[in-house]
Structure 1
Amino acid sequence: MHSIMFVFKRNPELTLEEFYHHYEYIHGPIAKRLPRLVEYRQHPSRKAGQGDGSYVGDFNEFDAASVYTFESAEAAEIAWDSEIGKLLDEDTHRLLDPKTMITLPVTVREVFRK
């Protein structure tokens, strides 16, 4: 599997509520149409609180993270180069501040699931 995580802040022209709505109802439906996509997960941030361990700091430095998983690197390239990939890229620039985005190639390793 080939997974990529994107961690980002919203476009400063959007309120947090507008960002979350766009992320779930506009961006997500475009993303799930990517060819050869195996899994897509959205992780909108939330306010830190009880149960979040000993983390100290501003938990909401970033507004969300997305993880895309493809069968292979080749499948990912096909997806990003597709018409849907181009549409998703255009929407990405409306949704978030690209200067803040962290692109993190990851290996998904399930350790435990109940």
Structure 2
Amino acid sequence: MHSVMFIFKRQSHLTLEEFYEHYEHVHGSIARRLEGLIEYRQHPTRRPGIGDGAYMPQEAPYDAASVYTFESPEAAEKAWSSDVGKELDLDTHKLMDTKTMISLPITIREVVNHNKKLSL
């Protein structure tokens, strides 16, 4: 599998509510059409509070993170360069401040998942 994470801020002309609405309903709808995509997760930030730990700033420095997982690096490359990938890129530039975006190649390693049922 091949996963990549993008951490980003919204374009300055968008309110947080406008950003979240577009991110979920428009950007997500485009992303889900990428060929070879196994999983796509959106992680919008929220206001920090109780239970968030000692290292949390007063305000989240970014507005969201997205994690894309593809079948293979080749599938990811094909998806990014496809017509849907180009459509997603155009929407990214409308929605996100790409100058401050962080892109990370990641390995997803599940350590705990208490939601999975045990097979006996």
TM-score, normalised relative to structure 1? 0.97
Residue of structure 1 in register with 2:103 after alignment: 103
Residue of structure 2 in register with 1:80 after alignment: 80
8 Å contact 2:48–2:57 — kept in the other structure?
A: no
Residue of structure 1 in register with 2:27 after alignment: 27
Residue of structure 2 in register with 1:62 after alignment: 62
Structure 1 or 2: larger helix share?
Answer: 1
8 Å contact 2:36–2:75 — kept in the other structure?
A: yes
8 Å contact 2:48–2:56 — kept in the other structure?
A: no
Matches of 1:103 and 1:53, distance apart in 2: 24
Residue of structure 2 in register with 1:10 after alignment: 10
1:53 positional shift = 1.5
Structure 1 gaps, min length 5:
none
Which protein shows a greater Rg?
A: 2
Letter in 1 for 2:76: A
Cα deviation 1:37-76 (Å, max 9, x = unaligned)? 0000000000110011222424411000000000111000
Letter in 2 for 1:49: G
**Residue 100 of structure 1 aligns to a residue in which SS?**
coil
Structure 2 gaps, min length 5:
115-120
Percent identity, please. 64
